[in-house]
Structure 1
């Protein structure tokens, strides 16, 4: 008697696994590169003062610090960001 419940590995199935095994590391490398590439403060004309009512703490790109007054981060600009700062990437929440 043979056991038909065991899955058979066909060439097609093996090729799919191989393609997936190659694709996942490449995708991971590309995604890390996209997240790692931020613009410099100089290129984004970043400054520590607001531009009128426009300031980092009410920008969609701002990543808040531990407290409202603490420096945070930015999805676009590299480095530490002052909540009262401003740059040309400002996008109102």
Structure 2
């Protein structure tokens, strides 16, 4: 039999279909990190603290290069002020 006319066996066809069905699912899981972040409007972000609650005291805050520099948040998109606050605030233990 010529290699151009070789047919897939049933087992090969099932493997190919299973791989094709799981690939989009796996690809979707790997691209969820950025999609999980909320916009500043969704969490009512503000640049001022709310009492003693401020971003620099939150478990989600990733500090900037200096103590006063803006940092990042694990929950909120974009840069955030260490003096800021949002509804996702969770105090450090």
The counterpart of 2:34, out of the listed 25, 33, 36, is 36
TM-score of the aligned structures, taking structure 1 as reference length: 0.69
TM-score of the aligned structures, taking structure 2 as reference length: 0.69
Question: 1:52 — aligned with what?
Answer: 51
Shift of 1:27: 3.0
Shift of 1:59: 0.2
Aligned-partner Cα distance in 2 for 1:83–1:28: 34
Unaligned runs of 5+ in 2: 1-10
Cα distance change on mapping 1:23 and 1:68 into 2, 3 Å? farther
Question: 1:4 — aligned with what?
Answer: none
Could you give the per-residue CA deviations for residues 20-63 of structure 1, whole angstroms, max 9, x where no partner exists? 8x86885354132x211111101100000000000000100111
Shift of 1:90: 0.1
Size of the aligned set, in residue pairs, is: 80
Cα distance change on mapping 1:66 and 1:31 into 2, 3 Å? same
